Amino acid sequence: MQTKYVNAFLVNHARGDPALFIDLLGRSRAIMFDLGEVFRLERGELTRVSDLFISHTHMDHFFGFGTLLRANWGQDRVITLWGPPGLARNVFGALSAYTWNLASQTTLAFRVREAHPDHLSTTLFSSADAFAPGPTERLPHTGSVLLAEPEFTVTFARLDHKILCLAFCFTHADHLNVDKQRLAEAGLPEGPWIRDLKTMLAAGDPAEGATLRVAGVEMPAADLARRLVVRARGEKIAYVTDTIFSDATLAAVRDMAQESDALFCECAYAHADADRAAANHHLTAWQAGTMAAAARARDLRLFHFSPLYVGRESELTGEALSAFRRGGRGPKARNEPRPPTRRAPEPPASRAAESG
């Protein structure tokens, strides 16, 4: 999905490794949800990723770490990786694959933040120390917010994939724009005061008595805001992958992805293969569509198709969208979606290339 402010796209095709790139347009900054193979990204994209949120470290979700490292080597920056307990060990393992005796004029560091039930642990790996792990700090943490900045927030939910797997949701702050027509009708000129007004509003309602200088005249900020500013809801983008379908999953995704503009959701199997999906703790297309409908998402984007469906991708897409539309806001919204009937499982030989 793309707006004036955000461009969010899956790096690979639906059968490729999971990696969702969220570009904050015009701000030389991006974040990512998962880091599967990312050869398709340009170096300039990999060097503006500030924060990566890793659902779990099965290979298809973390294989791209080497590409990220290679692209950023020589840069003076800190990249933060967020994820489940154990992520720091995985990052250290990936960094330990190389020899770091060569001096660098720059310092590249990875800050790893693991979400534990009652705290965040933070460990820094810096090229200045040949990527040896620094001391691990423990920060108190509860609730669903991982990263909160004035511009955007990232929340998470815990899913069950035989191991812990995290789902993520990016929410941009509301967009504040001065209505040009109202500005003209008020007879006020454009100027730096507009930027100052937006900055003030981004922090909350203007303080009582706060003023802004407009064409040499001090004017009440609250009055300017009320007359001129239009507030538009910020983008909300949810990402759900590698989970069993259960009441707990449905509730967690519905709460996290509520009213999202786009829900990017795995759908490894057709519902006819629901037994296989359950055995591997993955979703069927029907289940993905049902979750998107429960969350009242505006759009559903699918990925993580099993290689079983080569050439049959449209079956998965059609099934998921059918469940999404039937469970959504249409005339059949109150009807419980009825999944298609199951068919016999495929022979075990065709499971060989399935990923985690």
Active-site positions read: 60
Distance CA(320)–CA(327), nearest Å, equals 11
E-only strand ranges, the chain: 6-10, 20-24, 29-33, 49-53, 77-83, 108-115, 119-126, 137-140, 145-148, 152-161, 163-172, 175-178, 211-214, 217-220, 229-232, 236-240, 262-266, 300-303
Residue 2 is classified by DSSP as: B
Which residue, 18 or 328, is less far from Zn ion as judged by CB? Answer: 18
**Closest separation between CB of residue 324 and Zn ion, Å?**
21
Q: Which is nearer to Zn ion, 152 or 303 (CB)?
A: 303
Count of alpha carbons within 13 angstroms of residue 121, beta-carbon side: 14
- The residue written with tokens 């993520």 in the block is 168
Q: Is-contact 199 51, C-beta < 8 A?
A: no
Between 206 and 356, CB nearer to Zn ion: 356
Closest contact distance (angstroms) between CB of 157 and Zn ion is 16
Cα separation, 21 vs 10, whole angstroms = 6
Residue placing its CB nearer to Zn ion in the complex, 12 or 153: 12
DSSP 64: T
Q: Which is nearer to Zn ion, 16 or 356 (CB)?
A: 356
Query: Contact positions toward Zn ion, by CB under 5 A?
Result: 58, 60, 242, 356
> DSSP string of 121-155?
EEEEEEGGGTT-B-PPEEEE--SSEEEE-SSEEEE
